[in-house]
């Protein structure tokens, strides 16, 4: 009879098979999901350990590049001058084992998954433009929409917001005295888009807010969501590409 760890590992492997099928169906990428090599296998890890999984090529010779050790895979058509790239990551948490009916049940809780899209030429640093993420509200982002989009701040020219406007007053306009507490100019340190979650599903899911924007996180839901997001981005993101 399989023990609790074996059952959990089989469930995770089944989920990762679905993730690989989504990439193959939507982007024709042959990927597999593996725990990062630098980490101890999750079964041997201590409770409280964060466990990371990432997508890797099925064939070692398959094209792969890295941004800060993050594996990226190109899915652009040949006629696009600046290619598009995709990356997949998962964060899990090893929890204290729970005893149930005389047996010890291993627990590895999913904290969240992240699908990121990048743009850039081969063998050069890529710019991340979008992330599609789905977190467990009990672990992270308890009042944020799940799943959600993130817009990466690197694609927005924030410094241009901080330029001082000309002191010249247009003809016919009266210059107003400066306020005693003049608003701060929105420069680089004024705001950040990093924590902004843009909901991609919900509003009728529940009657209360923000729960109406939060769909239940489970492995089957994520696999179906991933397939649809990949297919959508394959159609939409080439519209911003340089040809």
Domain count, the chain: 1
Indicate whether 125 belongs to any domain.
yes
Indicate whether 70 belongs to any domain.
no
Element containing residue 53 per DSSP (H, E)? strand 50-57
Indicate whether 171 belongs to any domain.
no
Indicate whether 215 belongs to any domain.
yes
* Average pLDDT taken over every residue of the chain: 78
Burial class (CB in 10 A: 0-12, 13-18, 19+), 158: middle
Residue 180 confidence (pLDDT)? 47
3-state helix, strand and coil shares in percent for the chain, rounded to the nearest 5: 25, 30, 45
Distance CA 146, CA 148 (A): 5
Indicate whether 169 belongs to any domain.
no
Global pTM? 0.77
- What is the tens place of the pLDDT at every residue in 106-142? 689 999 999 999 988 888 888 888 899 999 988 886 7
Residue 117 confidence (pLDDT)? 92
Indicate whether 182 belongs to any domain.
no
Indicate whether 176 belongs to any domain.
no
Domain extent at residue 104: 4-59+75-156+192-240
- What is the tens place of the pLDDT at every residue in 137-160? 888 867 778 888 888 766 554 444
Residue 4 confidence (pLDDT)? 76
Indicate whether 28 belongs to any domain.
yes
* Beta strands per DSSP E along 144-194: 148-151
């Amino acid at each position: 009879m399989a023990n609790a760890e074996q059952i959990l590992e089989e469930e995770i492997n089944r989920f990762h098979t679905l993730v690989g099928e989504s990439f193959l169906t939507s982007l024709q990428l042959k990927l597999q999901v593996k725990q990062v090599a630098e980490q101890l296998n999750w079964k041997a890890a201590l409770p409280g350990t964060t466990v990371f999984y990432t997508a890797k090529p099925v064939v070692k010779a398959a094209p792969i590049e890295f941004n800060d050790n993050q594996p990226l895979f190109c899915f652009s058509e040949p006629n696009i001058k600046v290619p598009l790239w995709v990356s997949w990551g998962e964060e899990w948490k090893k929890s204290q084992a729970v005893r149930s009916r005389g047996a010890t049940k291993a627990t590895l809780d999913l904290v969240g998954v992240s699908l990121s899209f990048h743009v850039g030429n081969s063998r050069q640093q890529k710019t991340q433009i979008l992330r599609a993420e789905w977190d467990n509200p009990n672990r992270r982002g308890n009042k944020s929409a799940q799943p959600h989009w993130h817009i990466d701040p690197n694609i927005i020219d924030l410094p241009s917001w901080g330029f001082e406007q000309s002191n010249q007053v247009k003809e016919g306009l009266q210059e107003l005295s400066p306020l005693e507490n003049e608003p701060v100019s929105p420069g680089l340190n004024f705001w950040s888009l990093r924590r902004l979650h843009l909901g991609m599903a919900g509003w009728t899911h529940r009657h209360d807010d923000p729960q109406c924007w939060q769909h239940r996180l489970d492995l089957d839901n994520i696999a179906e969501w991933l397939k649809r997001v990949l297919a959508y981005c394959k159609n939409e993101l080439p519209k911003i590409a340089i040809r």
